[in-house]
Structure 1
Amino acid sequence: MDLGITTRLNTGFDDAIAKTRAALQEQGFGVLTEIDMQATLKAKIGAEMEPYVILGACNPQLAHRAVGVDRQIGLLLPCNVLVRADGDEVVVEAMNPRLMVEVTNEPGLESVAAEATTRLQAAIDALA
């Protein structure tokens, strides 16, 4: 199983983040957190790395349904979406929601994972 749903963009890094946020919003996801790994690692341990941002995306309706099935599922929420530089391209990757089902082995999460996958795939497809 793939860990993520991925696309590659030929655009600037900041533009890719803005477009990703907009595409997620169109699919009912809000961005709850934004972690700038490049800045954080530089500040905390002096490490250099390419631009790399983790967006913590959440669709409240899907999150509510998932938590209703398994209270521990919050350990896997929100859905992480990476925006990272890779040479001249920017890679955008969304967590594969099927991981929720695989990790928990909870059949009640199947429909939530399926809908989340459809919405995240649509957001990623909108970027291409």
Structure 2
Amino acid sequence: MDLALSTTLRAPLAEAVERTRKALSEQGFGVLTEIDMQATLKSKLDADLEDYIILGACNPPLAHRAVTADPQIGLLLPCNVVVRRDRTDPEAVVIDAMNPQLMMQFADEEGLREVAEAATAALQSAIDSLSSDESN
């Protein structure tokens, strides 16, 4: 099982972040947090990192179903989506969404399986929409 659902865009980072936010929103996800890892690591460690933004995405109905099925699953929420500069191609931005199917490796509640499948479908649709926007 893959760790992430991914696509690559040829766009400036800020545009890629906004397109990702829009694609997530269209699938019922809101962004609860945004962490600029590049700025954080520079200020805390004086370490350099390529552009790297972590978006904490949450679909409230799915999150409610997940924590109802298994209260500890909140440890894996929200679904992180990373928008980062490709280390091998400075013109490319990679979008990686956490694969919700990974939850099933930690908890095997039947209700959670259904939530993971729904979340995977929604995140995959968001990722796919970014890819299809790129080809237009």
Give me the TM-score of the superposition, normalised by structure 1: 0.98
Q: What is aligned with 2:134?
A: none
Verify the 8 A CA contact 1:50 1:85 in the aligned structure 2. Answer: yes
Tell me how far apart the structure 2 counterparts of residues 7 and 102 of structure 1 sit (CA, whole Å).
24
- Residue 105 (structure 1) shift: 2.7
Q: What amino acid does structure 1 have at the position aligned with 2:70?
A: D
Match of 1:53 in 2: 53
Q: 2-side partners of 1:11 and 1:89: how far apart?
A: 7
C-alpha deviations, 1:88-113, integer Å up to 9, x for none? 20000100000111122333211100
Question: AA paired with 2:72?
Answer: Q
Runs of 4 or more, structure 1, over 2 Å off, are 105-108
| Pairing of 1:1-128 with structure 2 (within 5 A) | 1-86=1-86, 87=89, 88-128=91-131
Counterpart CA distance in 2 for 1:116 and 1:123 is 11
- Given residue 66 of structure 1, which amino acid in structure 2 is its aligned partner? A
Is the partner of 2:21 in helix, strand or coil? helix
Unaligned ranges ≥5, structure 2: 132-136
Provide the identity percentage.
62
Q: Structure 1 unaligned segments of length 5 or more: list them.
A: none
SS in 1 for 2:55: strand
Secondary structure, aligned partner of 1:104: coil
Q: Report the Cα offset of residue 51 of structure 1.
A: 0.2
